[in-house]
Structure 1
Amino acid sequence: MWTEQSEDHISRHGVTAPEVEELVNSRPRYVARGRNDTTIVFGVTTAGRYLMVVLKTALDARWYVVTARDMTRRERLTFQKKGH
């Protein structure tokens, strides 16, 4: 689920909504529990971009995007070891 604020926020990190949707719905990916009841998804787009996406469940049980950005070097190494 997208809000105007979430799309504006990820655009500040140079990430687009289609990139996030591609990443969340593709494999390989690595999913981890984040802080404050969030879920973190690590993955690679078909263009080869390594992204980290933070999702949170809304009251209606749909997911919404909190943020998305390029992975750090450390996150990328973890993804390469654990991504499946």
Structure 2
Amino acid sequence: DLSVLSAENSIVFSFFGEIGESARKQSELEGITYPTLQNCLSSISSQLRENDILLLSPGGTSWDEFKNFEDRGQFFKNWILSKFYNDQAR
């Protein structure tokens, strides 16, 4: 039951990919569904403020976009580094 998470005003839920809309509906959490992780991150990054936390916590597969969870994690890491740390320390 994820409903306890929706009570947190500071948590924003986003869904992406082929199963994004299905995951949003099944979780019963309010959020936006994006076609890709890149679209999702680009949209979210424009809303981030200093000291905000961006957590990638996938609850399903994303085989439509990545070959495995490691590939997805590496994409996320590289995106964060390039967006916020100017490609430092990959």
| TM-score (structure 2 length as normaliser) | 0.28
Larger Rg: 2
| Structure ranking higher in strand proportion | 1
- Give the structure, 1 or 2, with the largest relative contact order (CA under 8 Å, sep 6 or more): 1
